[in-house]
Amino acid sequence: MATYTVRKLDLRSLLQKIMQSSELIAPVKTDLVRFQVVEDPHDICLTEQSFYPVKEFIFRKHEVLVSFNGKKVITPVLEPKERVIFGLRRCDLNAIMHQDKALIEVDVNYRAQRQNLTLIGYHCNEAPSQYCFCGTLELKDFYDMMFFDRGDEFIVDVATENGSRIIGKYPEFFRKSNHKVTEADKKIKNADRLFKTDISKLYDHPDWQKGVDKCLSCAACTSLCPTCYCFEIKDEVSIHDTKKVDRVREWSSCQLKGFSRVAGNHVFRDNRKERFKHRIYHQLDYFKKRYGINMCVGCGRCITACPTRIDFVDIINGMK
Amino acid sequence: MTKPKVGFYGLTGCAGCQLSVLFSEDEIVSVLGLIDIVSFPFIREKNIDQHFDICIVEGLVADKHDLETLKKLRENSSILVAIGACAHTGNVPAYRHYTLKENYQHLLYEKKEGIQDIDPTPLDSWVKVDYTIPGCPPDKREIMNFIKALLLGKEPLTYSSPVCVECRRNNNLCLLEEGKLCLGPITRGGCNSVCTNGSFECWGCRGQTDDANIPAFVALLQEKGFKREEILKRMREFVGLKLPESTMVFFNGNNNA
């Protein structure tokens, strides 16, 4: 739509203004970098990739789908407040887009969380982690605004009405620019390490075993994946009135045995190898067959967080 | 509906599990509306030995008196529940199975009449246990969920996933990365990762998951500089007599990599 510049030394003041009318969520560094509700813009960390992804603010860890009050079923009324997320990397933004594909039409709770939400990106010039591999995954432009870091200033690309509204609200921070954002601006250095993105014919390759042997099935990979959206549903009966029940959804993971357990105690993916491959095939094959795009965004968090550092990118690259 | 008659008992133990039941302050009054606590010697003077629909037992068998009590409770109960790590695995007291008597003999009480020592053993070494609520101490939400499930005629579900699942959900820093000997990846969760939330490593009190990848986990810990003996010691500490056979085989086998 339009391009602007923002002086770097004005960024904190801009975010402070935004915080006056919206909740601001951004990467904050303590012992780790996590997305959280910002209390002071000075806490925001843009120099590292966030260890935990942003997804918990949209696809909630624990939420009530419906309640039964003893007489009738009640659907919770979800009134999303005005929220701005700042500091999303290209991978984080694409991950939201991929979750949208799977959930936004069919899932009321997810759709509600996506309302009144402005997404402001911070573009990487260089891969922030040694495990990044977004370069070969054909990520798209998906944001309301994107900040490109150019030393003393940011070039800000505004892509939507939502983004324009921020410019209109705080014009004192934005200067119109003639710069046209090009492919060169969007190039992220050192992020091209996944050489093979078509794994459809490699399912029976013996090299998967290299990962399986080291896999603890601890589900760190799926917990930290910004795209994974597997869940379980259970009924929570009130101890105070056993006629009252909340039907609750919680995050789950395909890496856990219990995830594919059904009535009669049958477990569909009892075998660690099947579970291990299922995640990677969902990310790089099954999702693509259904939605025409890879689910994986190449952020590398599943490797950074894996206790045994299983690097499936290396495994795939090495397959002959 | 008649309320089920429930007894809470403690054998040899620290009473922490019975306290976990009592510490459910927000729920306990409602619980009293659902069950009839007919016996709870820890907090009540007069208790009736009678038939229990559900009997919840903490602690382990460490002397003859414990054994007599346990056998009697079993006879009197339709459903017998082991609550907490001692009742479930033998916990720390059972560690003496793994060491020589001379290492602990000086710590034993003097032999007195009336105390007849038995090697510390979990409940299911002696009687049939219908359900187990694991943990040292158990999570109070889990105690409530267990009671609710029984009342509703549902099969109580034991949490089967590793502690890491809840720990990551709580956005914690991984303690293995901090160089701590954390057993989270091989330990059954359901505790809301209470220890690791406070940066204290998991000692595995709830028992191993049935899906633990022991060779990979031990290799990882050895890479981080831990010795096999200290890994095995940590794994046994709270799991008592319930360290899986496959883990024992792994440590006894020729795996001195």
Closest by Cβ to A239, choosing from B144, B162, B215:
B144
Return the structure tokens found at B191. 């505790």
Q: What is the pLDDT of residues A33-66, one digit of tens each?
A: 999 999 999 999 999 999 999 999 999 999 999 9
What's the confidence (pLDDT) of residue A298? 97
Predicted confidence at residue B1, as pLDDT, reads: 65
Query: Do the interacting molecules here have an ipTM over 0.90?
Result: yes
Q: Which residues of A touch B215 (CB under 8 A)?
A: 213
CB of A235 less than 8 A from some CB of B: no
Nearest residue of B to residue A245 by CA position?
Answer: B148
Q: Please determine, for residue B256, whether its predicted confidence score (pLDDT) is greater than 60.
A: no
Is A34 in CB contact (< 8 Å) with chain B? yes
DSSP state of B182: -
Distance from CA of B191 to the nearest CA of A (A): 15
Measured between CA atoms, how close is B213 to chain A, in angstroms?
A: 5
Looking at the complex, report in whole angstroms how far the Cα of residue B49 sits from the nearest Cα belonging to chain A: 27
Can you tell me whether residue B97 is helix, strand or coil? helix
Instruction: Give A305→chain B minimum CA distance, Å.
Output: 8
Average pLDDT over residues A252-266: 93
CB–CB contact B160 A256 (8 Å): yes
Q: Cα–Cα distance between B88 and B129 in angstroms, integer? A: 9
Task: Pull the structure tokens for residue A201.
Answer: 């014919």
Q: Searching chain B, which residue's CA lies closest to the CA of residue A261? A: B160
Contact B151 A242 (CB under 8 A): yes
pTM (predicted TM-score):
0.94
Residue A180 touches partner B, C-beta closer than 8 Å: no
| pLDDT tens digits for range A111-135 | 999 999 999 999 999 999 999 999 9
Kindly state whether A225 is in contact with chain B, defined as any CB-CB distance less than 8 angstroms.
no
Question: Residue A203, exposed/middle/buried by CB under 10 A (0-12, 13-18, 19+)?
Answer: exposed
A88-106 pLDDT, tens per residue? Answer: 999 999 999 999 999 999 9
CA distances from B57 to B79, B159, B181, B243 (A): 11, 20, 31, 21
> A224 near B171, Cβ under 8 Å?
no
Distance of CA A238 to the CA centre of its chain: 33
Flag whether pLDDT at B225 surpasses 90.
yes
pLDDT per residue as tens digits for the range B22-53: 998 899 999 999 999 999 999 999 888 789 99
| CB spacing of A256 vs B165 below 8 angstroms | yes
Cis peptide, bond prior to residue B137, ω within 30 of zero: yes
Please give the pLDDT value at position B202. Answer: 98
CB contact under 8 A, B144 and A307: no
Choose the closest CB to B173 out of A31, A240, A257.
A31
H or E stretch covering B79: strand B77-83
Is some CB atom of chain B closer than 8 A to the CB atom of A220? Answer: yes
- The whole-number average pLDDT for the span B188-200 is 97
Q: Choose among A31, A253, A307: nearest Cβ to B176.
A: A307
Q: Is A205 on the interface with B (CB under 8 A)?
A: no
Q: Do A213 and B216 touch (CB under 8 A)?
A: yes
Average pLDDT of the residues in B233-246: 93
For residue B171, list chain A residues with Cβ-Cβ distance below 8 A: 32, 34, 52, 56
What is the mean predicted confidence (pLDDT) over B210-239?
Answer: 96
Q: Which residues of B touch A257 (CB under 8 A)?
A: 160-161, 210-211
A-B contacts (CB, under 8 Å): 83
Query: What angle (nearest 5°) sits at the alpha carbon of residue B13, between those of residues B78 and B135?
Result: 75
Give Cβ neighbours of residue B99 (< 8 Å, ≥ 6 apart): none
Give the pLDDT confidence score for residue B114 in this predicted structure.
Answer: 73
Q: Which residues of A touch B180 (CB under 8 A)?
A: none
CB contact under 8 A, A216 and B185: yes
pLDDT of residue B254: 56
Q: What is the mean pLDDT of chain A?
A: 96
Contact B162 A239 (CB under 8 A): no
